[in-house]
Structure 1
Amino acid sequence: MQQNRVMAIDAVVNYEFADPELERRGWAETFIREKIGAEEGRIKGLTEDAFLEKMDRAGVEHCFLIATKAGSKMHKIHRHIPYEKVAAMCAKYPGRFSGLAGVDPTEGMDGLAELERGVREYGFVGAHLYPHWFEMAPDHARYYPIYAKCCELGVPIQMQVGHCLRYSDERPLKSVGRPITLDTIACDFPTLKLVGIHIGWPWTEEMIAVAYKHPNVFIGTDAYAPKHWDEKFVHYMNTFGQDKVLFGTDYPVVDLERARIEFDALGLRDAPARKVLRDNAIRLYGLKLPLSTAAAA
C-alpha cells in the first residue's frame, strides 16, 4: 500500500459476497455478466477475505454495505438482502464496514419499524432507496413517511437518481429518478440529508444544480467509472462542489481498484480529493474515528 495515500470510504457497496444462503437469481447474474461485463469474482461474489484484500489494494479503508431492497417481494423479479446479513458483517469487521438500511415503501409501518431497528439496534448509519424498482419518482408521497423517519433518526438517505438499466426482460423498469425530484424533497424536508447516487447520469448537470441549491443535498459518484465522468462534474468536485460529493463504486458494478486508479488519475487538488474520498462521508454520516487500523498500514 502506498505511504501517505488517502484512505477512501466507499459510500455505496452492494452486499454481494460468496454466500450460499444468498445465491443470486439468474436474472441478476446475467445482468452483471452481460450488461456490466464483470469478471467471475464480481459475478459469483468474493469471499470476505478476498474482498478485504481488494479494499486494501484499492486504498479503501471503509465501505457502506447496503441491505438492499430492490422491488417489492410481491414481484417475482426483486432482490432483498436481510438486515441481519449486513449487521453481522459490520459486527465482524467494525472498522471496515457500516450498514445502510434498504427501504421499501410497500411495507408500510412494518418497513418503518425495520428501518428504526436497523439504525437503533444494528447501528446502521443511513438508509438506501432504489426508486426505479418501485416505479415511483423520489418525490412520490409514498416515500414521505420514510423520509420523516430518517429525519427522526437523524440519518441520511441515499437514492439512485438518473436513468436505470434493464435488469431483466421479464420486468423492464421505468427510469423515474430525475435529479430535479430531489428539489421537492429538500424543500419539504430541509433537515433530511439526501445523497443522489449514480451521479444522476445522464442528467449530471441537473444533479449538480440541485446540490448547489440545497445545503442538505449531496452527490454520490458510484456506478460509473471515473474516466467516464463529465468534465463539468470533475470541475465541480475540484472547486465549489468539493464539500458536496462522496466517493463510491456501487460494487460490483464498478470494481474498487479500477475506481481508485481512475479517480487518482483525475488530477484533483489534494484538499478536494481528500474531501471526496473520505472527509465528506465522515462528516455527513457522523462516523467515529479512527475507523480502522488500515489508515496506518
Structure 2
Amino acid sequence: MSRIPKIDLESHFFTPEYMALLESRTRPPRFEVTDENVRVWLEPSLPDVMLTHSHPLRDTLLDLSAARIEAMDRVGIAIQFLSVSSPGFEQFEPDVQVEHAGKANDALAAFIADHPRRFVGLASLPVSAPQTAADELERCVRELGFKGGNIHSHIGDTYLDDARYFPILERAATLGVPINLHPTLPHGNMLQPYLGYGWAMPGPGLGFGHETAVHAMRIIYSAAFDKLPDLQIILGHLGEGLMHWLYRVDFDFNKPWMAKSHRSQIERKPSDYLRSNFWYTCSGNWLDSALLATIHEVGVERLMFASDYPWEQIEDGADFIEAAPISEDDRRMICHGNAERLFDLNV
C-alpha cells in the first residue's frame, strides 16, 4: 500500500543513563525492573500509585537504532520528532533536572546527527530552574538544531502559569519555537477523585487529558499570550478534550448577566487563544469524531499528525489518518503540510 508522507510530531525514547537514573531511585519518579514487567511510579505526591508496562516497551524506548527507522518506513513517516518519554524530568529534584536534562539533549543530538534528514529533537528542560531551562532551550535550538521544547505538564504542584516560569515561555516566543505540553499523572492535589479503580482513571484514560487541559487553560487565564502573542503551545490527543468545551470556556464572556469583574483578566475570549496560540496533534486518539471536531473548531491548518510511538502502535496512527473521513487536501495538510509550515521542514 502506498503511504502518504508523514511528519510525526510525537515519538518517545529513553537514554540508558535516564533509565539507570530511574532504576536507581527509591522515591518517585522511579522504575523497578522485575522478571515479569517494569513497575513505574511517576508522581512524588502519590508514592503508592504504580503502573506496569512490558519489557518489550522498555526495550523499544531504549532503541535508537535502524529498527526505529524501519518502523517509520513501514508507515510512511519521513520525519519523526523525538522527546524523552514520561516521566520526563519535571518531577525530579532541581539539581537532578539540570544535570540529566542536558545529558539527554546531548544524547539525542548525537543520534540526530547520524540521521539528520529523519529526526528532529524537542528539548528536555530543567523547568524547576527556570532561567537555566530557558538557556537550555536556547542552546538546544541554536546549537543542537532542535525545534522546540517538551514539558510534562505540572512541575511539582505548579503549572507554567506561575510567574516563576515566565522566562521559559518568553524564551520560546523569542526563539519562535513551540512548547509541546505532554500529559503526565496529575499531582496528588488533583488526583484523589481518580483513585480506586486502578490505572484506568488517573492515567491515559482520563487523568492525563484532564490535567493537561487544566494546565493549558491556566496558561491562557494567566494572560501569558497577551504578553507573548507569538507564543505557541502544542497539545496532543486532539486537544485533550478541549474541543468539546470551547463554548463553555467562554462562559463568563458570553453571558450578559455575568459581571465583568468576574471575568478572567485577559484581552480575548479563551477560545480565541485556543484557535491562535495552540496547535494540535492526533497522537493516541484514533477517533474520527474527535478529529472532525478539532478540524471544525480550530481549523485543519492547526492540526498535525503524531503517532505517540511506542506507547501506541505506529501502524494504528498511520492507518487512522489515512482512512479518516476527510478530504485528501486536508489529509496531506495534517500528515505533513502544517508541520512543514510551522517548523520550516520539507518531507
The TM-score, its normalising length taken from structure 2, stands at 0.68
The counterpart of 2:286, out of the listed 226, 242, 262, is 226
Say which structure, 1 or 2, has more relative contact order (CA 8 Å, 6+ apart).
1
The counterpart of 2:58, out of the listed 28, 43, 59, is 43
Question: d(CA) in 2 for partners of 1:40 and 1:112?
Answer: 35
How far residue 74 of structure 1 moved from its aligned partner, in angstroms, is 1.2
The counterpart of 1:30, out of the listed 36, 39, 59, is 39
Gaps of 5+ in 1: 292-297
Residue matched to 2:266: none
Larger deviation, residues 270-279 vs 236-245: 236-245
Residue matched to 1:245: 303
Q: Which amino acid is 1:199 matched to?
A: L
Residue matched to 1:294: none
8 Å CA contact retained: 1:116, 1:153:
yes
Q: Matches of residues 59-138 of structure 1 in structure 2 within 5 Å? A: 59-67=76-84, 69-74=88-93, 80=101, 82-138=104-160
Q: Which amino acid is 2:90 matched to?
A: G
Q: CA 1:23 to 1:161, structure 2 compared with 1: closer, same or farther past 3 Å?
A: closer
How far residue 7 of structure 1 moved from its aligned partner, in angstroms, is 0.9
8 Å CA contact retained: 1:129, 1:158:
yes
Q: Which amino acid is 2:211 matched to?
A: S
| 1:202-261 Cα distance to aligned partner (Å, 9 max, x none) | 444247973775423211222x2414x6x1442433786210111113322212222111
Residue matched to 2:197: none
Q: CA 1:282 to 1:108, structure 2 compared with 1: closer, same or farther past 3 Å?
A: same
Question: d(CA) in 2 for partners of 1:37 and 1:280?
Answer: 35
Q: CA 1:203 to 1:237, structure 2 compared with 1: closer, same or farther past 3 Å?
A: closer
Q: CA 1:9 to 1:36, structure 2 compared with 1: closer, same or farther past 3 Å?
A: farther
Asked if residue 201 in structure 1 is aligned to residue 259 in structure 2, the reply is no
How far residue 118 of structure 1 moved from its aligned partner, in angstroms, is 0.6
* 3-state SS in 2 of match to 1:195: strand
* 3-state SS in 2 of match to 1:10: strand
How far residue 86 of structure 1 moved from its aligned partner, in angstroms, is 1.0
Question: d(CA) in 2 for partners of 1:143 and 1:118?
Answer: 18
How far residue 76 of structure 1 moved from its aligned partner, in angstroms, is 11
Larger Rg: 2
8 Å CA contact retained: 1:162, 1:201:
no
Q: CA 1:75 to 1:166, structure 2 compared with 1: closer, same or farther past 3 Å?
A: farther
Question: d(CA) in 2 for partners of 1:144 and 1:77?
Answer: 21
Q: Which amino acid is 1:58 matched to?
A: V
Asked if residue 254 in structure 1 is aligned to residue 312 in structure 2, the reply is yes
8 Å CA contact retained: 2:83, 2:124:
yes
8 Å CA contact retained: 2:40, 2:51:
yes
Larger deviation, residues 72-81 vs 197-206: 72-81
Question: d(CA) in 1 for partners of 2:275 and 2:298?
Answer: 13
Q: Which amino acid is 1:193 matched to?
A: Q
Residue matched to 1:188: 227
8 Å CA contact retained: 2:160, 2:166:
no
Question: d(CA) in 1 for partners of 2:13 and 2:53?
Answer: 16
Gaps of 5+ in 2: 24-29, 32-37, 42-49, 187-200, 248-269
| 1:105-146 Cα distance to aligned partner (Å, 9 max, x none) | 211322222211111110111111122243323322222110
Residue matched to 1:286: 344
Question: d(CA) in 2 for partners of 1:136 and 1:55?
Answer: 36
Residue matched to 1:15: 13
The counterpart of 1:142, out of the listed 164, 186, 198, is 164
Q: CA 1:107 to 1:196, structure 2 compared with 1: closer, same or farther past 3 Å?
A: same
> Root-mean-square deviation (CA), in Å?
3.5
The TM-score, its normalising length taken from structure 1, stands at 0.78
